[in-house]
């Protein structure tokens, strides 16, 4: 007999303890005690230190750096919860790395997003909670039930409260047009699109043309994620060359490998960088604004546990 009505239990991996604690606080409880560490031989060990038998367990683990270690941790935590007779297991993965490796678009390449999704469900996840995937179709890689949340209302509220004049939302590439269109609708702003070209398999980006009117306006370059920042930097230069007053860059996920965050924040073309805490970001700057998704995730977890609508959060 499943004891889901006893309320959710929140277990954190090592990827983003602060986010897990904030989610648990929103729900009004402590994290379920667990230990997750590596033995000297590099093997990951997990032990859940409280009873989870028949309970509704949520494991919080964005796939932050080191990505492969955190994926392995997640799989082992799911396995531990399953073997501890959890009633239902939800893998909460606010940032799903490898989601961009989603098709065989060159000879002899893998579809790693699908492979990881298979591993998560094979490990024993009954449900998966994701956020702002690079492409929504990636939901279908999971055979478990998926809820894909979006931080779009959180990001939109931030810009609405800023009360910027003459705002235009800009998609940094043609593939992101629908996402940027939805964001522009929330802000009641027009949309422009940059034509971007990625050179080979490298992270080098070239911005070519702007479709739409941007001159004299405040532009919000809007994307699902900022990785190396190449896309946003190239887009910002092009926007400034085309007479944009101020460039804001905004995305749900700030991946920021190596020193990329410094490059973006120190760019003279960019006025502000706005991301969420779907990934841990240990960098402070007046030009960097990190918006919290903990209440959104906490509320989605509460609703999932009670069997209430999660979609209603976004109406």
Active site members = 196
Residue in 224, 252, 275, 301 binding ligand R5P, rule: CB under 6 A: 224
Contacts of 119 (CB under 8 A, 6+ apart): 71, 75
Q: Are strands 205-211 and 191-198 parallel, antiparallel or unpaired?
A: antiparallel
| Beta carbon nearer to ligand R5P, 57 or 191 | 191
Residue in 231, 236, 277, 304 binding ligand R5P, rule: CB under 6 A: 231
| Beta carbon nearer to ligand R5P, 56 or 173 | 173
Q: How far apart are CA 212 and CA 274, in angstroms?
A: 23
Q: What is the DSSP letter of 99?
A: T
- In whole angstroms, how close is the CB of 79 to ligand R5P at the nearest point? 30
Residue in 166, 182, 195, 203 binding ligand R5P, rule: CB under 6 A: 203
User: 3-state class of 301 per DSSP?
Assistant: helix
| Beta carbon nearer to ligand R5P, 56 or 224 | 224
Range in contact with ligand R5P (rule: CB under 6 A) among 30-38, 78-86, 219-227, 236-244:
219-227
- In whole angstroms, how close is the CB of 233 to ligand R5P at the nearest point? 8
Which residues are registered as beta bridge partners of 38? 44
Residues 161-180 that bind ligand R5P (CB under 6 A): 172-173, 175-176
User: 3-state class of 172 per DSSP?
Assistant: coil
User: 3-state class of 237 per DSSP?
Assistant: helix
Instruction: Give the number of residues in contact with ligand R5P, rule: CB under 6 A.
Output: 16
- In whole angstroms, how close is the CB of 314 to ligand R5P at the nearest point? 20
Binding mask 238-257 for ligand R5P (x = CB under 6 A): --------------------
Is residue 102 a contact point for ligand R5P (CB under 6 A)? no
Q: How far apart are CA 13 and CA 185, in angstroms?
A: 36
Residue in 132, 225, 269, 272 binding ligand R5P, rule: CB under 6 A: 225
Range in contact with ligand R5P (rule: CB under 6 A) among 208-216, 220-228, 238-246, 284-292:
220-228
- With beta carbons less than 8 A apart as the criterion, state whether 138 and 113 touch: yes
Is residue 226 a contact point for ligand R5P (CB under 6 A)? yes
| Beta carbon nearer to ligand R5P, 13 or 172 | 172
Rounded (10°) angle between helices 112-123 and 67-83: 20
Residues 132-151 that bind ligand R5P (CB under 6 A): 134
Q: How far apart are CA 13 and CA 73, in angstroms?
A: 7
Contacts of 13 (CB under 8 A, 6+ apart): 20, 36, 59, 60, 61, 70, 73, 74, 77
Among 50, 49, 77, residue whose Cα is nearest residue 63? 77
- Give contact residues for ligand R5P (rule: CB under 6 A): 134, 172-173, 175-176, 203, 205, 223-231
């Amino acid at each position: 007999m499943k004891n889901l009505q006893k309320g959710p239990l929140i277990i954190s991996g090592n990827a983003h303890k602060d986010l897990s604690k904030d989610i648990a606080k929103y729900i009004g409880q402590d994290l379920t005690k667990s230990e997750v560490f590596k033995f000297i031989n590099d093997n990951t060990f997990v032990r859940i230190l409280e009873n989870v038998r028949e309970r509704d367990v949520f494991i919080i683990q964005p796939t932050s750096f080191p990505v492969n270690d955190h994926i392995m941790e997640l799989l082992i935590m799911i396995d531990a919860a399953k073997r501890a007779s959890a009633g239902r297991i939800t893998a909460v993965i606010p940032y799903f790395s490898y989601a961009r490796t989603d098709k065989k678009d060159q000879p002899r390449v893998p579809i790693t997003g699908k492979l990881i999704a298979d591993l998560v469900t094979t490990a024993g996840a009954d449900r998966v909670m994701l956020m702002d995937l690079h492409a929504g179709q990636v939901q279908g890689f999971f055979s478990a039930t998926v809820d894909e949340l979006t931080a779009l209302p959180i990001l939109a509220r931030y810009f609405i409260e800023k009360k910027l004049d003459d705002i235009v939302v800009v998609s940094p590439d043609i593939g992101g047009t629908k996402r940027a269109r939805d964001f522009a609708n929330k802000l009641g702003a027009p949309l422009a699109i940059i034509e971007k070209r990625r050179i080979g398999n490298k992270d080098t980006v070239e911005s070519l043309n702007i479709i739409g009117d941007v001159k004299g306006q405040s532009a919000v370059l809007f994307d699902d994620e900022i990785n190396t920042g190449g896309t946003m930097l190239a887009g910002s230069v092009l926007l400034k060359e085309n007479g944009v007053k101020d460039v804001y860059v905004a995305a749900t996920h700030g991946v920021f490998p190596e020193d990329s965050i410094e490059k973006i924040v120190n760019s003279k073309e960019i006025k502000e960088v706005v991301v969420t805490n779907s990934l841990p970001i240990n960098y402070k700057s007046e030009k960097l604004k990190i918006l919290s998704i903990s209440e959104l995730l906490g509320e989605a977890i509460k609703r999932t546990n009670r069997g209430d609508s999660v979609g209603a959060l976004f109406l």
